[in-house]
Structure 1
Amino acid sequence: MPVASLPPHRRVPKTPARVRGARRALARLTALCAAVIVGAGMLAVPAQAEPTVEEIEAQIEKQWRQLEPTIEQYNKVRSELRVNRKKSDDLAKKIEPLQLESELALNRIGELASRYYIIGPSYELGAVLVNSRPGQLGEQLTLLDRVATEQRRQIEDVLAVQARFNTQKEKLDTLVTTQVKQEKDLANRRKKIEGEIKTLRASMPKTTVQTANCPTINGVVNAAARTAIRTACAQIGKPYVFGSTGPNSFDCSGLTQYAYRAAGISLTHFTGAQWNEGRAIPRNEARPGDLVFFRSDLSHVGIYLGNDKMVHAARAGVPVNVSSINTMPVAGFRRPG
């Protein structure tokens, strides 16, 4: 059966071959552009590179500069607490005899009060009047007055002793209250520091740190400085542990304290105190053995060796070593003794 042909207005015109080819080229071009865009987007997000050892060390050093002042503040509080505890012990020793003296005086007054309650003061006065002889009455009345004056003096002594006792007791109570608060603050601060140091250590790369021995010291060095230098240099390679004063580990002010203790010079385990425990020395006059302090907050200290070198307990993860003083801003020099 023959197929009926469509009317002229319903016929679909044929697409010319040239147009069809252009469309296919455009589709391929669009796909290619999309691939380029996607590829460019992928190239714009580079792979995350692992940090180098130097970058990790720089980050640790930055964190350490923030942490070290906290550690030295911890040392300050602990040093003050040690002093306050000694004061508390001294006050307790003073209070014991005061308390005993107060009790004895009160017993004397108690005995006197009991006697007058039983026989009354008129008994003594009557005895003086009845037994007095001419010319002796005045002396006996004076004696009686002296007895009364002595009684008043005893009462005043008791009150004075009690006042001294109460004053000392108030000081002790205030001191104990302060110490309890300091201990709580210290415990919280120590916990915070330990957590920060633990974080630092966890991020440290496993590397071997080479430490140089102390160089030969030339120039004017007194006996105390010589002993301190020799002692500090003997600690090279030992670990940094905050709050430690040796002999197996040190922090910065703990090492200087340990070294100068061997030389017979006492230093407080706190950089701020050590700054005030020595004589100020200009940098151009610094000699081996002087203490060299760093940063405006005096948060680090080492023992100067001359030629811009020092021996110091650097930081967590780095043992006691010899290094340049020019790696940190120098605050000044102090000469102990």
Structure 2
Amino acid sequence: MPVANVPPHRYAPIPPSHRPVGARRFARRLLSLVAAVAVGAGLAAAPAHAAPSADEIEAQIDKQWEKLEPTIEQYNKVRAQLKVNQKKSADLQKKMVPLELESALAMNQVGDLAARYYIEGPSQELGALLVSAKPGTLAEQLVMLDRLAAQQRKQVSGVLAIRDKYNAEKQKLDGLIAAEVKQRDELAATKKQIDAEIKRLTASLPKTTVRAENCPRIEGVPNSAVQTAIRVACQQVGKPYVWGANGPNSFDCSGLTQYAYKAAGISLTHFTGAQWNEGRPVSRAEARPGDLVFFFSDLHHMGLYIGNGLMVHAPRAGKPVNVLKISYMPIAGFRRVT
């Protein structure tokens, strides 16, 4: 039957009050279910965890830094070795200059002697020698000249032997320097990656000034050199960490101790491993203010011990030169340089 012949009242909506009780309960349950799904969807869209705190980010950076700092000190090691070898090469070059001159002069003397005899004949001195020897033939005269020239050749060969020795040493050094320059450049590229990672981590930190603890009053300073080193190190508190830097405006860990002891007239290499070998070992019980304290099995961090379980050190990027308890990191040992 066509829809047009259907009575209109059959399509009229049923008022809620006239609906069956079961239908109304079903509707309420359906609405509750839809609401629950909507709320659940909203919760799923929300972040599962809150953003990390500044302390948590600092802890992440500290952990990352333990992996990065060995590369920094390796960079310092290569730079220090490169500097030493470049100086050796320059010194050898200076020694070779007079040797080159001496060999050239000796060769010129031999050449002049031969040229004079060939063009002008024997000189008066040579003539007297030849006459006294009473050589009877030209061949005998030439043998006498050859003997005379042999003395000059012996002198020249001695000079050339020394020059060649220096040349060989310089070639070895130049090869070593080239290898170290390549290694330094590779580490410099790694340095850029490290800087980028530290920058990424520190960018999420709130823009606050890191408070640097000042050095306390220090008792039991053994001598004036140590007193100077501690005073100078403490004067750097608050200055920024920059790896590869040794003052006066920024420092890394071995750069700070080098700078402090340089002021006291004591030369240290800008590398933790070298400074470990430049001092003599002392036990923790014997440690006194001014000793160098080293951390981790590979010695990739260090500071200047100031007594009472404290040191002044350059911690890492994002943290300035500061005073810290030595128990903060695993101690590898102490060294005394005075």
TM superposition score normalised by structure 1: 0.80
> Relative to structure 1, is the Cα distance of residues 243 and 204 closer, same or farther in structure 2, using a 3 angstrom cutoff?
farther
Aligned positions of 1:31-110 closer than 5 A: 32-33=32-33, 36=36, 39-40=39-40, 42-43=42-43, 46-47=46-47, 48-110=49-111
Higher mean C-alpha displacement, 73-82 vs 31-40? 31-40
1:327 paired with 2:328, answer yes
> Relative to structure 1, is the Cα distance of residues 125 and 39 closer, same or farther in structure 2, using a 3 angstrom cutoff?
closer
Cα distance per residue 1:130-154 (max 9 Å; x no partner): x66xxx869xxxx998875443232
1:189 alignment partner in structure 2 = 187
> Relative to structure 1, is the Cα distance of residues 126 and 45 closer, same or farther in structure 2, using a 3 angstrom cutoff?
closer
Matches of 1:302 and 1:190, distance apart in 2: 24
Equivalent AA in structure 1 for residue 174 of structure 2: V
Matches of 2:321 and 2:209, distance apart in 1: 13
Matches of 1:297 and 1:203, distance apart in 2: 30
Partner SS state of residue 280, structure 1:
strand
Gaps of 5+ in 2: 1-19, 136-140
8 Å CA contact 1:56, 1:205 repeated in 2: no
8 Å CA contact 2:78, 2:183 repeated in 1: no
1:3 alignment partner in structure 2 = none
Give the C-alpha shift of residue 196 in structure 1.
Answer: 2.2
Cα distance per residue 1:214-264 (max 9 Å; x no partner): 112223522221111111111111111111111111111111011111111
Higher mean C-alpha displacement, 79-88 vs 168-177? 168-177
2:293 alignment partner in structure 1 = 292
Gaps of 5+ in 1: 1-19
Cα distance per residue 1:137-186 (max 9 Å; x no partner): 69xxxx99887544323213322322322332233234334334433432
| Identical positions, percent | 55
How many equivalent pairs are there? 310
Return the index of the structure with the highest Cα Rg. 1
Partner SS state of residue 221, structure 1:
coil
CA RMSD of aligned residues (A): 3.3
1:244 paired with 2:245, answer yes
1:227 alignment partner in structure 2 = 228
Give the C-alpha shift of residue 27 in structure 1.
Answer: 7.1
1:151 alignment partner in structure 2 = 149
Partner SS state of residue 206, structure 1:
coil
Give the C-alpha shift of residue 332 in structure 1.
Answer: 0.5
Matches of 1:149 and 1:334, distance apart in 2: 64
Higher mean C-alpha displacement, 283-292 vs 162-171? 162-171
Matches of 1:242 and 1:128, distance apart in 2: 73
8 Å CA contact 2:247, 2:259 repeated in 1: yes
> Relative to structure 1, is the Cα distance of residues 286 and 137 closer, same or farther in structure 2, using a 3 angstrom cutoff?
same
> Relative to structure 1, is the Cα distance of residues 54 and 242 closer, same or farther in structure 2, using a 3 angstrom cutoff?
same
8 Å CA contact 2:293, 2:302 repeated in 1: yes
Matches of 2:128 and 2:254, distance apart in 1: 78
8 Å CA contact 1:95, 1:168 repeated in 2: yes
Give the C-alpha shift of residue 90 in structure 1.
Answer: 0.5
Give the C-alpha shift of residue 310 in structure 1.
Answer: 0.5
Partner SS state of residue 321, structure 2:
strand
Matches of 2:175 and 2:282, distance apart in 1: 40
Give the C-alpha shift of residue 209 in structure 1.
Answer: 1.8
8 Å CA contact 2:280, 2:337 repeated in 1: yes
8 Å CA contact 1:60, 1:204 repeated in 2: no
Partner SS state of residue 196, structure 1:
helix
Equivalent AA in structure 2 for residue 67 of structure 1: L
Equivalent AA in structure 2 for residue 193 of structure 1: K
Matches of 2:112 and 2:219, distance apart in 1: 78
Partner SS state of residue 237, structure 2:
coil
Partner SS state of residue 63, structure 2:
helix
> Relative to structure 1, is the Cα distance of residues 281 and 295 closer, same or farther in structure 2, using a 3 angstrom cutoff?
same
Matches of 2:24 and 2:71, distance apart in 1: 72
2:161 alignment partner in structure 1 = 163
Matches of 1:33 and 1:294, distance apart in 2: 61
Partner SS state of residue 285, structure 2:
helix
Matches of 1:211 and 1:276, distance apart in 2: 30
TM superposition score normalised by structure 2: 0.79
Matches of 1:227 and 1:267, distance apart in 2: 15
> Relative to structure 1, is the Cα distance of residues 77 and 126 closer, same or farther in structure 2, using a 3 angstrom cutoff?
closer
> Relative to structure 1, is the Cα distance of residues 240 and 115 closer, same or farther in structure 2, using a 3 angstrom cutoff?
same
